Chain A
Amino acid sequence: MAEPLLTVEDLRVQFRTDHGVVKAADGVSFSVFPDEVLGIVGESGSGKTVTALSVLRLLPPTARVTGRVTFGGRDMLALPAAELRAIRGDRVGLIFQDALAALNPLHRVGKQIAEAVRVHHHGTSRDDAWKRAVELLGLVGIPTPEERARQYPHEFSGGMRQRAMIAMAIANDPDVLIADEPTTALDVTTQAQILELLKDVRRRTRSALILITHDFGVIAGVADRVLVMYAGKVVESGTVDEVLLRPAHPYTRGLIASMPRVAQETRHLVRIAGQPPSLVDVPAGCPFHPRCPHARTPDPCAGAVPQLLPTPGGGHAVACHLSDELADPLAELGTA
């Protein structure tokens, strides 16, 4: 495999609050390779967004970030502000969930995209940047882009705003795109359009994509590899087929099993007991053990924090003390 484009090692993000120290990300490590889609799945508070934002140092100053984030041979966490700005929006493009909040309501959409081009290419004339903006809007499937470029964000529908934001993110042909829940606020049919667009855009630009979502359905169709996060930690990682068809961590299994299925005989769903822990007071040992149907306490599950270790089959790593004994009966579950 090629050299990784982006490497995150032992990333820790903490926030000091009145209630204690929130450990939003706690020892997260992963790599992103050129031209791949890495999905990061987790529920609210799992640390998926914090992890992605810290890559670009976009967290508020109250965040205490440690670890190493290497991009293009440079440590992003130690980079001077000017160099960081040169990377943001140029080598790394960002797509947020809420396009209405991410776009400036006072400027024409075309101008905002043109601006994104000119910030990083000072020699570009206003005319050329505008032309490029129109071209980008066309590329992301906005009809009559010349007219649309002159409109304001409120004149766009939700799906079109998301398209405009994608246009802005790819304006400078980035190496990596980070998309944080890009389809969550959208309707089902619009979500399908945007996912298709993301795949298409990636085929054209050959950029890598970090796709953050709570929805395994979104991951299944788009990602090559996937990280599952829980309480600030990566609990499982591997190729999308391995993780989704042969999930090894009880949390991943629970999440997948709790999705409604077609052969559902009853009206009842399998569910995970309890609720996600407070990040101020994460359970000792495996953070999932209070909710885990297999947990043995106090040892090993409430003892040491389980390390993310490769499974014997390969293509897959899991942070579970009981992964060996849980592996057998559930192997090869998803007959595909």
Chain B
Amino acid sequence: MTPLLAVEDLVKHFPAGGGLFGRHARQVHAVCGVSFEVGRGETLGIVGESGCGKSTTARLVLGLMPATSGTARFDDVDVLTAKPKALRALRRRLQMVAQDPYASLDPQMTVGASIAEPLRIHGLYRKGGKDRVRELMTLVELDPDHVTRYPHQFSGGQRQRVGIARALALQPELLVLDEPISSLDVSIQAGVINLLADLQERLGVAYVFIAHDLSVIRLISHKVVVMYLGKVVESGLRDDVFDRPSHPYTQALLSAMPSANPVAERARARILLPGDVPSPLDPPSGCRFRTRCWKAQDVCAVEEPALVDRGQGHPVACHFAEAAPQVSGLADPARQDAPDLPNAAGLPFAP
């Protein structure tokens, strides 16, 4: 089956100023040859730390900025080279949910108007738009009688639900979610995650889910892409990446994830990476991770490791790839017996 979204060799350089008339301008190498595929109804998780290029990738895929090179085929139409009219048609099928539910809603518009806006733009409001807005509010577990309220009358979690309702208004096939829960309180995050999982089951919508939190990525993704400094260092099915992390960076990320079990935390050997992420203005030669890698050899500075399966069952961009299970705080047997709230999961969401 052809994938819904096929991204190939995506590259984005930003000019960083310097040099008269930009002649010797330096380039920020934000995204450097990223490829991945997303199937219908599935979730691709993109994980990485700030500056790894995950948000830029999202914006490119949405056609929100021109790419330097590469393709992003959405159902055989390249988003990156599509004419404005074609892009507009694509937008109906390709929507986004922003990170900050405070900044992404117009404070002067009622939430009903915000949710109706995409319907109006695409000329779908006149016919049954009002009912559709109420239906969407119900879908994201908000009270449809609150359509006339303003964003400030909602909590952060509810605002994020409004954002999701608006993104779903045109019945898209793919939703790009950029850190959709990282600005929410812990006790609110679980509800939004559950909602997203439910919506995918009911509507068959695919997600590109961007996050820095590996535990959330693990929970919601079918496939995972790990990025470092503009490149994919490891990718594969969720369990392959989480159970057999094979790139040193993925291993470090997993080992750095704190767990709430004090006994396990004390016993755990953490991989501490030295130093900081190098500047994307001047990325290291060869493997970009080598300056912080404990496995680095001379070859790493000379030869860039390709993202290929090196015997781990999934692609890894490391000359010395080696599967290392049990580095993650998540893979901690003691946590399996953590307490459950007997009734809370079944309770309706109280507005």
CB < 8 Å neighbour of A336 from B215, B216, B220, B263: B263
Query: Is A87 interfacial (CB 8 A cutoff)?
Result: no
Query: B262 touching A220 by the CB < 8 A rule?
Result: yes
Query: Is A189 interfacial (CB 8 A cutoff)?
Result: yes
Query: B335 touching A263 by the CB < 8 A rule?
Result: yes
Q: Which residues of B contact A44 (CB under 8 A)?
A: 185
Query: A258 touching B186 by the CB < 8 A rule?
Result: yes
Q: Which residues of A contact B260 (CB under 8 A)?
A: 216-217, 219-220, 244, 256, 259
Query: Shortest Cβ distance from B99 into chain A, in angstroms?
Result: 14
Query: Shortest Cβ distance from A249 into chain B, in angstroms?
Result: 11
Given contacts A260-B218, A262-B330, contact A273 B185 (CB under 8 A): no
Interface-side segment among B88-96, B121-129, B189-197? B189-197
Q: How large is the interface on B (under 10, 10 to 19, 20 to 34, 35 or more residues)?
A: 35 or more
Closest residue of chain A to B242 (Cβ to Cβ) is A262
B110-133 vs A, CB cutoff 8 Å, 1 = contact: the mask equals 000000000000000000000000
Query: Is A159 interfacial (CB 8 A cutoff)?
Result: yes
Query: Is A255 interfacial (CB 8 A cutoff)?
Result: yes
Closest residue of chain B to A43 (Cβ to Cβ) is B185
Closest residue of chain A to B254 (Cβ to Cβ) is A188
Query: A275 touching B341 by the CB < 8 A rule?
Result: no
Query: B276 touching A272 by the CB < 8 A rule?
Result: no
B330-351 vs A, CB cutoff 8 Å, 1 = contact: the mask equals 1110111111111111011110
A285-300 vs B, CB cutoff 8 Å, 1 = contact: the mask equals 0000011011000000
Q: Which residues of B contact A5 (CB under 8 A)?
A: none
Complex-state Cα separation, A137 to B126, whole angstroms: 65
Query: B332 touching A333 by the CB < 8 A rule?
Result: no
Complex-state Cα separation, A174 to B300, whole angstroms: 44
Taking CB atoms and an 8 Å cut-off, the chain B residues in 173-213 that contact chain A are 185-191, 193-194, 197, 212-213
Query: Is A27 interfacial (CB 8 A cutoff)?
Result: no
Given contacts A244-B262, A273-B349, A274-B349, contact A259 B215 (CB under 8 A): yes
Query: Is A17 interfacial (CB 8 A cutoff)?
Result: no
Q: Which residues of B contact A77 (CB under 8 A)?
A: none
CB < 8 Å neighbour of B338 from A187, A189, A219, A333: A333
Given contacts A268-B194, A334-B334, contact A245 B344 (CB under 8 A): no
Interface size of A by CB at 8 A reads: 61
Taking CB atoms and an 8 Å cut-off, the chain A residues in 206-250 that contact chain B are 214-221, 223, 240-241, 244-245, 247, 250
Query: B219 touching A257 by the CB < 8 A rule?
Result: no
Complex-state Cα separation, A36 to B256, whole angstroms: 23
Complex-state Cα separation, A79 to B157, whole angstroms: 42
Complex-state Cα separation, A257 to B255, whole angstroms: 21
CB < 8 Å neighbour of B341 from A157, A257, A261, A264: A257
Query: B189 touching A221 by the CB < 8 A rule?
Result: no
Query: Is A270 interfacial (CB 8 A cutoff)?
Result: yes
Query: A294 touching B343 by the CB < 8 A rule?
Result: yes
Taking CB atoms and an 8 Å cut-off, the chain B residues in 253-297 that contact chain A are 253, 255-266, 268, 270, 272-273, 275-277
Query: Is A253 interfacial (CB 8 A cutoff)?
Result: yes
Interface-side segment among A89-97, A98-106, A128-136, A191-199? A191-199
CB < 8 Å neighbour of B261 from A244, A258, A274, A290: A244
Query: Is A16 interfacial (CB 8 A cutoff)?
Result: no
Query: B335 touching A273 by the CB < 8 A rule?
Result: no
Query: A258 touching B336 by the CB < 8 A rule?
Result: no
The 4 A-B pairs with the shortest beta carbon distances in the complex, nearest first, are A217-B258, A271-B190, A293-B343, A187-B49
Please name 30 pairs of A and B residues whose Cβ atoms are closer than 8 Å in the assembled complex, sorted by A.
Answer: A187-B50, A188-B253, A188-B257, A189-B272, A193-B272, A196-B272, A220-B259, A220-B260, A220-B264, A247-B339, A250-B341, A254-B341, A256-B338, A257-B340, A258-B186, A260-B219, A261-B330, A262-B331, A267-B219, A268-B194, A269-B194, A270-B340, A273-B344, A273-B349, A273-B350, A275-B188, A293-B344, A333-B337, A334-B263, A334-B334
A-to-B contact residues, CB < 8 Å: 43-44, 143, 157, 159-160, 187-193, 195-196, 214-221, 223, 240-241, 244-245, 247, 250, 253-264, 267-276, 290-291, 293-294, 330, 333-336
